Structure 1
Amino acid sequence: MNFRQGSTKIILREMEERDWEDVHKYASKEIVCQYQPWGPNNEQQTKDFVNEVLADAKKEGRTRFVFSIIDKENESMIGAGEFNIRDLANKTGEIGYIVNPDFWGNGIATEVAKLLIEFGFKQLQFHRIYATCDPRNIASSKVLEKVGMTKEGLLRENILLKDGWRDSFIFGILEQDL
């Protein structure tokens, strides 16, 4: 798939092998992965992640789409956006995003979330898209609300982190909500 989609600030394109160095710039930082079950990554873990993404992109019946976020101003890779097919029969997908902290506070995550939602509804013809986030991650909750997602509830202790179980807010949007 040769997907490329953009907004005023960014372009999303399929992740490439050479992106691992830019991925490592943020995936190796504690602040980036504080609400995640992974990281901070060493170089090998980052290379393994990118190789896994590349392998998933070649699978028949692909269910995972990971896009590099390219900053239009300096043409650098500054994060990743992900769309996962969770239930093909019921046309349901999940989005996620991660942005290099050097670019936080610039609306990048909001742009990425909008593009991922558009990808799910327009390209894949899905009915429902959802996202989860740690309740402590206020910035991510605000992004999901800003793009029109509705907070639907709380999943209790659904992800194991290094320091114990994590709850997750769940946000959703339906095709007719746009």
Structure 2
Amino acid sequence: MRHVDIPGKRLRLREVTVDDVDALHAVYGDPTATEHLPFDPRTREEVEEIVAEAMRAAQAEPRRLYVLAVTDVAEGRTIGVARLHIEHDHPHSAEIGLGLRPDHWGRGIGTDLVRLLLVFGFRHLRLHRVWGARSPANTAAQLTMLVAGMVEEGRIRHHVRARGAWRDSIVHSAIEDEWEGYRDV
């Protein structure tokens, strides 16, 4: 098992634990935080199952799913969640996803988080490609991924069904040999 603990200047990524359920529910259960995500706000029980699944996935060999707590370095509190899922048929490529409590938006923390995920993917897991998808309406996520060094690739039409309707997704990616890396995240 690969234990994950990736420190940055403002954020730290670490394995989720059962102690994170309430903090993660503050993200997964918040209608504002999940507005652009392809699911409705989660109940506390659903978040408990997400954490349990993450802990089971951490034991898998080879490990393909990383669900990580995002903590504020200054305060040590869990303020979000990050996910990296290595593709089964393409083990050098992974999809990322993230969520932060809305009271932490607008300060560049999302950009720091994406950069930490890229550091983890490229430097620690030796991936070749890291990608993420966003709602076309989520322009904050667009800016976050672009500033973090990802490239907007294009649109997947009617990619997910969310809130009773089909929704497109915009894909962003970073490639290991194009990624400049960031020493100060």
Range into which the TM-score falls when normalised by the shorter chain: over 0.9
1:105 corresponding residue in structure 2: 106
TM-score of the superposition, structure 1-length normalised?
Answer: 0.95
Shift in Å, 1:90: 5.6
1:63 corresponding residue in structure 2: 64
For 1:89 and 1:139, locate their aligned partners in 2 and report how far apart those are by CA, in whole Å. 29
For 2:153 and 2:90, locate their aligned partners in 1 and report how far apart those are by CA, in whole Å. 21
Q: Given that residues 158 and 166 in structure 1 are in contact (C-alpha distance below 8 angstroms), is that contact kept between their aligned partners in structure 2?
A: yes
For 2:54 and 2:91, locate their aligned partners in 1 and report how far apart those are by CA, in whole Å. 24
The 1:146/1:69 distance shift into structure 2, 3 A limit, reads same
For 1:121 and 1:80, locate their aligned partners in 2 and report how far apart those are by CA, in whole Å. 19
Structure 1 residue ranges without an equivalent (≥5): none
* % identity of equivalent residues: 27
Query: Residue deviations 1:54-98, cap 9 Å, x none?
Result: 111112221101110110121100001111101564611111110
User: Which is bigger in relative contact order (C-alpha 8 A, separation at least 6)?
Assistant: 2
Q: Given that residues 128 and 175 in structure 1 are in contact (C-alpha distance below 8 angstroms), is that contact kept between their aligned partners in structure 2?
A: yes
What is the DSSP-based 3-state SS (H/G/I as helix, E as strand, rest coil) of the residue aligned with 1:46? helix
The 1:46/1:90 distance shift into structure 2, 3 A limit, reads closer
TM-score of the superposition, structure 2-length normalised?
Answer: 0.91
1:15 corresponding residue in structure 2: 16
What is the DSSP-based 3-state SS (H/G/I as helix, E as strand, rest coil) of the residue aligned with 1:176? coil
Matched, 1:28 2:25: no
1:132 corresponding residue in structure 2: 133
Q: Given that residues 24 and 47 in structure 2 are in contact (C-alpha distance below 8 angstroms), is that contact kept between their aligned partners in structure 1?
A: yes
Q: Aligned-pair RMSD on alpha carbons?
A: 1.3
Q: Given that residues 87 and 93 in structure 1 are in contact (C-alpha distance below 8 angstroms), is that contact kept between their aligned partners in structure 2?
A: no
**Alignment coverage as a number of residue pairs:** 178
Query: Residue deviations 1:99-145, cap 9 Å, x none?
Result: 01111112111111101111111111111111110010000010110
1:117 corresponding residue in structure 2: 118
